[in-house]
Copies of this chain bind each other. A is one copy, B any other.
């Protein structure tokens, strides 16, 4: 059975819900994957690394890439562009990798519209808003206005959980990781429509 066609796992959910920790925890168990790095025009923040947290480009470059349809999805948030370049995603899919996206509900929507057949989506969140606030404050890395902004976004995004295939409530990290491993392994089994059509066409071959 050929499953080397690649598939997509979308993770959304509030910053502070533990998406990165979860990925780190499950990466050895889920096989070859490519974690998609977004491109943005927002200024680099202290502690951020080019090519790790984001690819940082200027507005001219970003708009040229939009023009050339180089983005799988993009959005403007608070005056800054954020997007996913299509090229590395295509390459990783060709290599049979599980492409993992950490994107917001808008981005999820865009990916579903273009690649629903190979996409599995998961909303990761804290058990409560209260818990999210505590975690964001405890990190102590962000200014209060950034934390407040993240909380506003979280409140809006949580309303759209039902658009996702799965909800993972990250209360206990080990438990949540165990759940996510199962989802990620199954995500790999999604077969592109084009392969399904090929299979159906060839199914009735001659004995």
Contact = CB atoms under 8 A, between A and B. Distances in A.
A205 to B, nearest CB: 5
Contacts of A159: 200
A1 B125 contact: no
Copies in the assembly, this chain: 2
B183 A166 contact: no
Nearest to A164: B196
Contacts of A91: none
A172 B1 contact: yes
A167 interface: yes
A189 B200 contact: no
A191 B167 contact: yes
Contact of A203 (B128, B168, B172): B128
A196 B129 contact: no
B189 A166 contact: yes
Nearest to A169: B1
Contacts of A167: 191, 196, 199
Contacts of A166: 186, 189-191
Nearest to A133: B207
Given A1-B168, A129-B204, A167-B199, 11 more contacts: A1-B169, A3-B179, A128-B204, A158-B200, A158-B203, A161-B196, A161-B199, A161-B200, A166-B191, A182-B186, A186-B187
5 contacts: A1-B172, A133-B207, A134-B207, A162-B196, A165-B190
